[in-house]
Amino acid sequence: MDKTKILLAHGSGGRLTHDLITKHLVQSLSNPLLNKLDDAAVFESKGKTAFTTDSYVVNPIFFPGGNIGKLAVCGTVNDLSVMGAIPKYLSLAFIIEEGLDISALEEIIKSIAAAAKEAGVEIVTGDTKVVNTGKADKIFINTAGVGFIPEGLDISGANARPDDAVIVSGTMGDHGIAIMAQREGLNFKTAVESDCAPLNGLITDMLKVCPRIHVMRDPTRGGLATTLNEIAGQSQVGIELNEESIPVKPAVGGACEALGLDPLYVANEGKIIAIMPEKDAPAVLSAMKAHPYGKDSAIIGRVISPNPGRVSIRTPLGALRILDMQSGELLPRIC
């Protein structure tokens, strides 16, 4: 038996499954709730609770700036955080392809443990399944998360109001270009890394100076343009952007130009869009710039009454063009 590879027997529920869970997962992700190995995690809760789930099928599973494990933790932490919730507990379910190197799984679990520690969350329950070679493209991960919303917060994509300011926490398109470069073997003059990161610390700092933030979203698939179109539709407002104010790394901008892409539609995995009353924007921007994950934050536009449900962008030449929602798939399996 090859002890360096995942075998179908690792998902059979027998001795190898037990060893996989106890030696590789529980050992790295240990906490009192997980260590019980019961069929469900049981914990106390009260007040408003946020609950979310997502599946991660990114290809390749290792990329500059992270891997599928870090992505799975950060993605779910961020989905909770943009609702104002304090992330607390995560589930973790693996679908592993027979033949995956045990060393690769260990590296992924190590990243999961590091990301969970940084975010202050605990992996309290999970599952492992092993499928035949060729049926899962190495590994898929599903995570679900629970977080608790402090009293008084009301954050939703439906809450944008005319005259609100629109802020982003940093440069657009880093994750999507990093994945594309790794997948296609593209070499750029300056290496591009994914921005994959847990953003709950940054969001906590923002809410300390402004608990009146109306909307927060992480612009993942479809990028900034598609996410803002979703918000404009939910809130039935218009949004007008200033193209020159939107931060894009020169390497990402150059790669997009060469590939015929618009960075405003390319995915991010460590950025936030925040919409709030204009008078609160300077204080929020200052708090964001003081955090490592928000140092490139910028006010990029405002919410308007005309053209409800539409997003427009003012170009450097002064022209105004419509920024539609993305149609079709720009780059599949980026998360």
pLDDT by residue (tens digit) across 282-302?
Answer: 999 999 999 999 999 999 999
pLDDT at residue 67 above 90?
yes
pLDDT recorded at residue 186: 84
pLDDT at residue 125 above 90?
yes
pLDDT at residue 119 above 90?
yes
Name the segment(s) of the chain with CATH classification 3.90.650.10: 164-322
The dotted CATH code for 44-148 is 3.30.1330.10
Read off φ and ψ for residue 200, nearest 5 degrees: -65, -30
For the segment 150-157, the average pLDDT, to the nearest whole number, is 96
How does residue 188 score in pLDDT terms, banded at 50, 70 and 90?
confident
For the segment 306-334, the average pLDDT, to the nearest whole number, is 91
For the segment 221-247, the average pLDDT, to the nearest whole number, is 97
How does residue 154 score in pLDDT terms, banded at 50, 70 and 90?
very high
pLDDT recorded at residue 288: 98
Could you read off the pLDDT of 201-232 as tens digits, one per residue? 999 999 999 999 999 999 999 999 999 999 99
The pTM of the full predicted model, rounded to 2 decimals, is 0.96
pLDDT recorded at residue 155: 98
Could you read off the pLDDT of 21-54 as tens digits, one per residue? 999 999 999 999 999 999 999 999 989 999 999 9
How does residue 269 score in pLDDT terms, banded at 50, 70 and 90?
very high
pLDDT at residue 251 above 80?
yes
How does residue 106 score in pLDDT terms, banded at 50, 70 and 90?
very high
pLDDT recorded at residue 328: 76
The dotted CATH code for 164-322 is 3.90.650.10
Name the segment(s) of the chain with CATH classification 3.30.1330.10: 44-148
Percent of the chain with pLDDT strictly greater than 90: 92
